[in-house]
Structure 1
Amino acid sequence: MKRISVDIGGTFTDCFVAWGDEYVGTKALTTHHNLAQGFNDALDVAIKDLGIDKHSLLSGVDSVRYSTTLGTNALIERKGPRIGLLITEGFNSTVPLSRGRGYGEGLPFEKQRDLCNAVRPEPIVPISMIRGVRERVAYNGDVLLPMDENDLRQKLRELVDQGAETIVVVYANSVVNPENELRTREIFLEEYPSYLLGAIPLLLSHQVAGRKGEYVRSMSTIIDGFLHQVMYHGLGTLEMYLRANGYDKPMLISHNSGGMAQLNSTDALQTVHSGPVSGIAASEHLSINGDLGNIVATDMGGTSFDIGIVVKGGEKHYDFNPVIDRWLVSIPMVHLVTLGAGGGSIASYDPLHDAVKIGPESAGSDPGPACYDRGGMQPTVTDADMLLGYLDPDNYANGRIQLNPARSRFVVEEELCDDMDMDLLDVCKKIKQTADANMANGIATELRSRGYDPSEFTTLAYGGNGPLHCCGIANALGVNRVLAPPFSSVFSALGAGNVNQMHIHEMSTYTVLFHTGSQSMLTEYDKVNDAIETLETRGRDDLMRQGMDPKLIKFRLEFDMRYGNQRVETAVETDAKRFESMHDVLALMRRFDKRYGERFGQGSQATESGVRINTIRVSSYVELDKVDFKQIKPLQEKISVEPVTSRQCYFVGFDGAFDTAVYDDAALEPGTYIEGPAVITTVNTTYLVEPGWSYHASHRGAVWFSRTNTH
């Protein structure tokens, strides 16, 4: 296996290189003005470690896999093209009005409750760029009003004259019958051939989102159009860089569905949050390959703290209507929760509670925490870690970043000490304690809201700051064991290289399995089977277009189901490929009852109100080689190593300083056992073993932290 995978975060760009039996993980600061530069910096370190030249590496790998924050950054900064929207006449206000909950979507919980001060997000499409088109398709696909083509041509001219750089087409019920949307594209190309307007994109909503729901489908297509150009140019530039250095294969892009595809088969919307989702994909593989059972994946980077759940057997939780930035969209995305609690999260004084507040604002990589000495003027979690003695100023990020403790001391004293009437070290302890408690509370809330007990899960701590804060988080959470996985500092990048090539296609339907009025069961299977066949064909075509062997393509079938007219839908996976008999219908209904009971409690099922399918979903994928995690469990042997030095460290819940042993990369040797307090400073991250905890290294750099009950 020879591959390169990259994850670009808000602060660091992570790179993982598999070169035969050699694995190398590296980090570099993210260069937001040109993401390819940060990738190149991280790749240069890997090349040095492997002892080969760049051209030999890039020409020798089978793939380069990329997780990007280009889309996320573009949405935050509102940097995108001027968009024109064509929508069914009468639906012109669908996007400006959003929904009743549109005020709160994407806001922190406390702001969602403050409806009096709620403000809608700045619209991506201004009202002046929305045009209604005279056409109408019924819910069942019947054309109620044929499209007025002269009216359409006039609306297209108006949008182009007003400077539209991307045009989005969203017609009612087009997911059932896309005839009018497809005809719109033909007319657009007749009016404005590519040689007149260049490559101006025109996006059709039924091709972006396959489910009903006019608002969410509209926003999915609008955001996809908004991100299209920045993704095209940003990733196109990166692909040209790879070509110039010897890489002649298609570049692969990680998707927020937990799969990946070639650049030419990727919608911009599918890349949003693909970095954190890659970490969850790696956690899923770790759970199965290492036989670890239930896992809660936690990724603490420089900007945020991401939480994901993988239950035994590798089952992931999906959001089928996730909120991206401030908008509800309609794409399958691996469920994750993001908190503003990274190393660069800014610590401020909360006068109402006379306490420290952490985030959600972050110093990012530019200027970064104050100790980076790049102009940061606000205290961060990393500054507190610096002053508590956990970080080595001369050996941070493998010596590439020289830390300045004096800057950390100045900003903490200036911004917090006087307001809190506490000395410097007590304030730093409070910063760490608050950050750890916030992250622990986020984990507990996510697990318990889904009916899980944290003690039933193995907690994974990865990201650049995960192993540094995992003991503190575990203390607040009340768990006794934490695993820092192999290559923990670049685990999401590793995950980007570990995912399967996959596409997910969906189709709305109105299929009644059990009709409560007539007390009858579904007996006509052709309509459902034809829809499944159509979705499988789309997935197969996508993968074959990317060079996949059709014999290796697999399918996973899933339905969104509900009782009667309930609003709540439950995703149900089935092993059946087609409906062939009443037995298949009953088996699906039993599986739905079981999943519904697991979600809402046994006895809450309501089969007597009717059962129906609202969405058919097919995942088409090809399983690819992955990094082996079988030897991941704790070892029996316990090997002692000598520390390289010691320094004074301070810990939450303890007075005074501890003379703390400091170790280097030698502590990653399998079997190494260390009792806290201790600091292990490696090339890419720092492991902090707090008092009352032990450190036990396993294979491939995995580390188990266990409570020792010494206090």
Structure 2
Amino acid sequence: MNRVSVDIGGTFTDCFVAWGDRVVEAKSLTTHHNLAVGFNDALADACRQLEITPHTLLSQVDSVRYATTLGTNALIERKGPRVGLLVTTGFKHTVPLSRARGYGEGLTEPEQMDIPNAQRPEPIVPIPLIREVRERIDYRGDVFWALDEDDVRLRIRELVDAGAQALVVMFTNSVVNPVHELRVREIFLEEYPAHLLGSIPLLLSHQVAGRKGEYARATSTIVDAYLHQTMYHGLGTLELNLRQQGYARPMLVNHNSGGMAQLNSTDALQTVHSGPVSGIAASEFLAAAAELGNVVATDMGGTSFDIGIVVQGDLKYYDFNPVIDRWLVSVPMVHLVALGAGGGSIARYDRMYKTVEIGPKSAGSDPGPAAYDRGGQFPTVTDADLLLGYLDPKNYANGHIPLNPRRARQAVRDNLCDELDLDEIGVAKLIKKQVDASMANGIATELRTRGYEPKDFTVLAYGGNGPLHACGIAAALGISKVLAPPYSSTFSACGAGNVSQMHIHEMNTWTVLFNPNTKSFFSDYETFNHSVEELEQRGRTDLERQGMDPADIRYRLELDMRYGNQRVQTAVVTHLSRLTRQRDVLELMDQFHERYGERFGKGSQSPETGVRINTIRVCAYVEQPKVKFARLAITGEPKAPPEPVSSRACHFVGHDGAIDTPVYDERARAEGTEISGPAIITTRVTTYLVEPGWTFRAVAQGGAWFVRNSSH
């Protein structure tokens, strides 16, 4: 297997290369002005390790896969085109009103509670760029008011004259019958052929989101249109860069659904958060291969701390109406929680509680932490780690980024020392304590709100800073063991290479499995099966267009179900691909009953109110070869560590004064090596910190368990 997979984060670009029976990891700073520059730097580092040229590598690999934050950054920076919107007459204010919740969506809970200071986000589509079109389709899909084509031509002309650079069509009930939206596209091409307007995109809402709910479907399509140009040019530049270096195959892009597809089969909206989702995918595969049971995936990078849950024998949690930036959208996305607690997160004084607060603002890669010596003036988590002695100023990021302790000290002193009445080391300890507690609280909250206890999960600590803060997070969480997985520094990039080629299609339905009024069960099997077949056909068409063999395509049927008129929906994955008899209906209801009880507690089920299906979802996928993981259990007698290469004076939370701490190199990761803390293990791409009272135990493929001593 020859493969390159890349995770382009807010601070670092991670590159994971599988070359035959070898794997190598490489990192470089993300170059936001041109992502190809950072990718080339990371790829060149990987090639030096393999002792081949980038051209040789790229001309022989099976695939190159990207997970990127390009779309996320474009939303944050509001760098996008002017978007025009066509809606059904009477629905002009659906998007501006934003269900009366637009002021709070995408904000933290304290910010949502601060209603007097609430502000709606700057709209992507201002009201002057919204036009109503005379048409209407009812809830059954019947044409109630025929499309006025002359009105359509006039409204499109008005939007183009007003400077719209992308157009969105969102008609009511178009997911049931898209005939009017499809006709608008034909009219648009008649009025404005490509040679007149160039590549101006026109997006139809029913093709972006397959569920009812006009507002979420509209915002999904609007965000997709807003990001289209940025993604087209950004990823197009990456693909051109590959072509120039000898890569001839299609470039693959990771999706936030946990799959991937070729660039020409990827919507811009699907790329948002695709990097952290790739880490969750890697965690799922590792948990199964290494027999870890339940795991909570935690990715501490340079910009954020991302949390995801993988439950043994279950599927990943999905958000079916996630909030991206400040916008509620209607796409299935692997559930994750992002905290502003990365290495570049800025620490500032909290005047209310008279302590230090971490994030959510980040120094990113430009200018980066103050220690990068690139103009950063505010203290960050990385600056604190440097002052505490955990990082080697001359060997950070394999020596590519020399750190300046004097700049870090100055940033801490100028911004926090006087307010906190502490010296630089005292402030750095407080930053370390606060960021570890914040991450631990995020993990505990995420687990307990879903009915789980942290002690029942294995915590995976990965990302560039994960192994550095693993002990502190585990201690604050109250658990005694945490795992830094193999390839921990580039684990999300590894996951980007391990996902399947996949497409998800869904449609709304009103399928009553059990009607409590008539005491009858569902029997219209033909209609249900036809809907499933249609969704399978869409997925099959997508994959065949990308060159997949139809014999390799697999399908997974998922249903959003609920009791009666409850608002809460529960996703049920079923092995039943078709319904043919009443026994199938009863089996499906039993699956829902069991899944609901697992989620909300046994006895909470209420089948007497009726059972119905609201959404039919089909995942079409083709399995791809994966990087294999070994079992990561601690077995056998421990091996003595190698001789330390040096020692440093380090400061630890809960300990007064500096402690002379041995520093080990890559040899300490040999399987079976056991080291009692305090200790530091420095590798090419990350640093493992073993705090006092903890023991480091190296396991297969460079993984490492941090185990808390029972005496502490």
Structure 1-normalised TM-score?
0.99
Per-residue displacement from partner, 1:667-698 (whole Å, max 9, x unpaired)? 11111111100011110000000001011111
Instruction: Say if 2:428 is the partner of 1:425.
Output: no
| Alpha-carbon separation, structure 2, partners of 1:630 and 1:489 | 18
Matched, 1:133 2:117: no
Aligned-residue offset at 1:594: 1.1
Question: Which amino acid counterpart does residue 159 of structure 2 have in structure 1?
Answer: L
Q: Does the CA-based 8 Å contact 1:320-1:330 persist in structure 2?
A: yes
**1:311-326 mapped onto 2 (5 Å cutoff):** 311-313=311-313, 315-326=315-326
> Conserved in 2, the CA contact under 8 Å of 1:347 and 1:378?
yes
Which residue in the other structure is 2:623 paired with?
623
Q: How does 1:253-402 map to 2 (within 5 A)?
A: 253-313=253-313, 315-402=315-402
Q: Which residue pairs with 1:189 in the alignment? A: 189
2:497 alignment counterpart: 497
Check conservation: 1:3, 1:63, Cα contact below 8 A: yes
Could you tell me how far apart the structure 2 residues matched to 1:255 and 1:633 are? 31
Map residues 243-258 of structure 1 onto 2, 5 A cutoff.
243-258=243-258
What is the rounded CA distance, in whole Å, between the counterparts of 1:288 and 1:599 in structure 2?
22
Query: Aligned partners of 1:423, 1:243: CA distance in 2, in Å?
Result: 53
1:326 positional shift = 0.2
Written as runs of structure 1 = structure 2, the 5 A alignment for 1:217-232 is 217-232=217-232
Which residue of the partner structure matches residue 636 of structure 1? 636
Q: How far, CA to CA, are the matches of 1:249 and 1:635 in structure 2?
A: 43
Counterpart Cα distance in 2 of 1:48 and 1:38: 16
Which residue of structure 2 lines up, in the alignment, with residue 441 of structure 1? 441
Residue number in structure 1 paired with 2:686: 685
Q: Deviations over 1:55-97 (max 9, x none)?
A: 1100100000000111001000000111110010100000011
Query: What secondary structure, in the 3-state scheme, does the structure 2 residue paired with 1:99 have?
Result: helix
Q: What is the Cα deviation at residue 101 of structure 1? A: 2.1
- Distance in 2, Cα, partners of 1:212 & 1:305: 33
Q: Distance in 2 between matches of 1:119 and 1:14?
A: 36
Residues in 2 aligned to 1:112 and 1:571: alpha-carbon distance in whole angstroms: 28
CA distance in 2, matches of 1:319, 1:653: 39
Tell me, yes or no, if the aligned pair for 2:72 and 2:273 is still in contact at 8 Å.
yes
Establish whether residue 34 from structure 1 lines up as the match of residue 34 from structure 2: yes
8 Å contact kept, 1:27–1:684: yes
Rounded Cα–Cα distance in structure 1 between residues aligned with 2:121 and 2:2: 44
Q: What is the one-letter code of the residue matched to 2:708?
A: R
The answer on whether the counterparts of 1:288 and 1:314 sit within 8 Å (CA) in structure 2 is no
Deviation at 1:630, TM superposition (A): 2.3
Residue 597 (structure 1) shift: 1.4
Aligned-partner SS, 2:399:
coil
Aligned partner of 2:157 in structure 1 is: 157
Which SS does the other structure have where 2:632 is aligned?
coil
Alignment partners' CA distance in 2, 1:602 and 1:703: 37
1:694 aligned onto 2:702: no
| Aligned-partner residue type, residue 29 of structure 1 | L
Partner of 1:658: 659
Tell me the equivalent position of 1:236.
236
Partner residue of 2:468?
468
Checking the alignment, whether the CA contact within 8 Å between 2:216 and 2:328 is kept in structure 1 is: yes
The equivalent of 2:514 in structure 1 is 514
**1:100 Cα deviation (Å)?**
2.3
Structure 1 residue 705 and structure 2 residue 701: aligned? no
Contact 1:503/1:542 (CA < 8 Å) preserved in 2? Answer: yes
The DSSP-based 3-state class of the residue aligned with 1:627 is coil
Stretch deviating more after TM superposition (144-153 or 510-519): 510-519
Secondary structure (helix, strand or coil) at the match of 2:101 reads helix
Does the aligned pair in 2 maintain the 1:287–1:313 contact within 8 Å?
no
CA displacement, residues 515-573 of structure 1 (integer Å, 9 cap, x when unaligned): 12111111111111100000000001111111111111110001101111111111111
* Residues 462 and 485 in structure 1, CA contact (< 8 A), matched pair in contact too: yes
Work out the CA distance in 2 between the residues paired with 1:635 and 1:497. Answer: 29
Q: Deviations over 1:575-596 (max 9, x none)?
A: 1010000001111111111111
Which residue of structure 2 lines up, in the alignment, with residue 50 of structure 1? 50
Matched, 1:525 2:535: no
| Paired letter, 2:259 | G
Is contact 1:676-1:692 (8 Å) kept? yes
Equivalent residue letter for 2:243? R
2:391–2:687 contact (8 Å) kept in structure 1: yes
Unaligned runs of 5+ in 2: none
3-state DSSP of counterpart to 1:438: helix
Shift of 1:200: 1.1
Distance 2:260 2:652 in 1: 42
1:410 — aligned with what? 410
Query: How far is 1:633 from its partner?
Result: 2.3
AA aligned to 1:674 is I
The CA distance in 2 between the partners of 1:260 and 1:461, in whole Å, is 24
How is 1:597-616 mapped onto 2 (pairs within 5 angstroms)?
597-616=597-616
**Cα pair 2:58 2:247 within 8 Å, conserved:** yes
Gaps of 5+ in 1: none
Deviations 1:213-244 (A, max 9, x none): 00000000000000001101111111011011
User: Tell me, what secondary structure is at the counterpart of 1:342?
Assistant: coil
Do the aligned partners of 2:630 and 2:701 also contact (CA within 8 Å) in 1? no
8 Å CA contact 1:648, 1:658 repeated in 2:
yes
Instruction: Give the partner amino acid of 2:223.
Output: I
- Pairwise CA distance, 1:314: 5.4
TM-score by length of 2: 0.99
Q: Amino acid of the residue matched to residue 493 of structure 1? A: A
Does the CA contact (< 8 Å) of 2:557 and 2:618 recur in 1? yes
Name the counterpart of 2:646. Answer: 645
Structure 2 Cα separation of the partners of residues 399 and 635 of structure 1: 34
Give the aligned partner of residue 110 of structure 1.
110
Within-5 A mapping of 1:66-77: 66-77=66-77
Identify the range of structure 1 (624-633 vs 5-14) with the bigger mean alpha-carbon deviation. Answer: 624-633
What per-residue deviation string (whole Å, max 9, x for no partner) do you get for residues 300-338 of structure 1? 001000000000035210000000000100000000000
Distance in 1 (CA, whole Å) between partners of 2:376 and 2:331 is 37
Q: Distance in 2 between matches of 1:196 and 1:430?
A: 60
Deviations 1:183-210 (A, max 9, x none): 0011111111111111211100000000
In structure 2, the residue matched to 1:674 is 675
Report which stretch shifted further, 347-356 or 635-644.
Answer: 635-644
Aligned length: 711
User: RMSD over aligned Cα, in angstroms?
Assistant: 0.8
Indicate if the aligned counterparts of 1:561 and 1:571 stay in contact, CA closer than 8 A. Answer: yes
After alignment, is 223-232 or 623-632 more displaced?
A: 623-632
Q: Retained in 1: the 8 A contact 2:291–2:631?
A: no
SS at match of 1:287: helix
CA contact (8 A) 2:649 2:661 kept: yes
SS at match of 1:452: coil
Q: Equivalent pairs: percent with the same residue?
A: 68
Give the Cα separation in 2 of the matches to 1:269 and 1:224.
Answer: 5
The amino acid across from 1:707 in the alignment is R
Give 1:368's aligned amino acid.
G
Q: Output the CA distance in 1 between the equivalents of 2:484 and 2:636.
A: 18
Q: Distance in 2 between matches of 1:702 and 1:35?
A: 30
Is the Cα contact below 8 Å between 2:630 and 2:700 reproduced in 1?
A: no
The residue aligned with 1:5 is 5
Partner of 1:93: 93
* 2:83 partner amino acid: I
Q: Which moved more, 1:219-228 or 1:192-201?
A: 192-201
